[in-house]
Amino acid sequence: MERVVFLIDMQSFYANIEKIEHPELKNKPVAVAGDPKIRSGIILAACPTAKKRGVKTAEALWEAEMKCSDLVVVRPRMQLYLDVSVSIAASLEVYTDLVEPYSIDEIFVEMTYALPRLGITAEEAAEQIITKIRRESGMIARVGIGPNKVLAKMACDHFSKKQDDGIFTLNLVNLQEKLWPLPIGKLFGVGKRMNQHFLNVGIRTIGQLAKSELADLQKRWGINGEVLWRTAHGKDEAPVTVDTHIRRKAIGHNMTLPRDYRTWDEIKTVLLELSEEVARRVRVNGYLGGTVTAGARGHNHFQQPSGFHRQMKLPDVTNDGKVIYEAVKHLFLRHWNRDAVRSLGISLDGLVSDECRQLSLFRDDVDREKLNVTVDRLKYRYGSEAVLHATSLTAGGQARIRAKKLGGHYK
């Protein structure tokens, strides 16, 4: 039996939710954007009306307003968007229990065994789902169909959105005709840097990559070269799983700062906050980690890359923010070149269950564990501002601001 996977994408998700919440905005150009006063005035989503006026996702708010002077800008409400996303995903379980949220506005659905039971084709099922989502939530959905996740994703991204019915099937039959002529940057998994690498060696289309010698790609780019070659051929064995976001290899947190941070005192304050937040999330998910990764970027990192991304292995696995911070501090002081910093990131990798740990005869961590558990409980009951380091109250601290946000934006 050939697999059938859907990738369901909600059109202009944030902006359309705001239009549903505010009927008076129905025919107006609407964009959801951060607060420009704290340097996050970036377009997160724009409705179709705004897009027709030239407004683009991820562009600066001032650029969008120059193109569309009557643009209605709405501040993001991440908790509302998350609630709608969870509701839509739950509603799809009437078809199958293999429903995997890929992002807040994209959902993978394994339909392989559902279609014979329903007695309908994949296209008919997609039509049903689009109608169901629109009737229940008001959202406009598009569906990419493929024999695996990667083809379903590219079917939706590159073709479904251009179809009147919002449905497109990409498979091994039409792969060469539809996918291969596209620019190499359109291949799933190819970012800006990899795109440039391919262009530098004369690979400009997905088809050219597919026709390249695998051994040459492996020699130049290792396992990544092989993965991208397989993707170009439509090969992907990844299952649709309901616990994709539960069984993790790493837990991290990145933050864009409201301004340039130039002093170590300000930077270390945020690093401590991020370390504690990563540790808390690791504990909540029942993990310990053995490798700490730290990174920083400057203001103009796209035009003039600056910053670093380094990691170090810990002597023992941990979920203690203090231990993570000490490792992060070591990495930062060793690799930071004293340029101004605009974003910071920390992650704990190599996760294992917290039920498995190596006991030490020379160190007693029981008191630290009890303290961490107590702090976690206080934050759970009274909010993340309930317990803070004193340094978070200084000018560089961001913990109190982040407590009011979800996904980097206000709830």
Q: Which residues are annotated as part of the binding site for Mg(2+)? A: 9, 105
108 contacts 149 by C-beta, under 8 angstroms = yes
**Annotated catalytic sites, by residue?**
106
Q: What are phi and psi of 397, to 5 degrees?
A: -65, 140
Neighbours of 2 (CB within 10 A): 7
282 contacts 289 by C-beta, under 8 angstroms = yes
Contacts of 366 (CB under 8 A, 6+ apart): none
Q: From CA 27, how far away is CA 204, in angstroms rounded? A: 40
Chain-centroid distance of CA 33 in Å reads 17
Is the Cα dihedral 161, 162, 166, 167 positive or negative? Answer: negative
Joined tokens for residue 235: 């090969």
35 contacts 41 by C-beta, under 8 angstroms = yes
Joined tokens for residue 380: 């759970």
Q: What is the DSSP letter of 262?
A: -
Nearest to 145, CA basis, from 121, 180, 119, 176? 121
By the 10 Å C-beta count (0-12 exposed, 13-18 middle, 19+ buried), 97 is classed as exposed
Joined tokens for residue 296: 């920083």
DSSP of 196-214, one letter per residue? Answer: HHHHHTT--BHHHHHTS-H
Q: Do the bridges between strand 5-10 and strand 106-110 make them parallel or antiparallel, or are there none, so unpaired?
A: antiparallel
Amino acid identity, residue 250?
A
Nearest to 115, CA basis, from 73, 158, 169? 169
Task: Name beta bridge partners: 5.
Answer: 110, 146
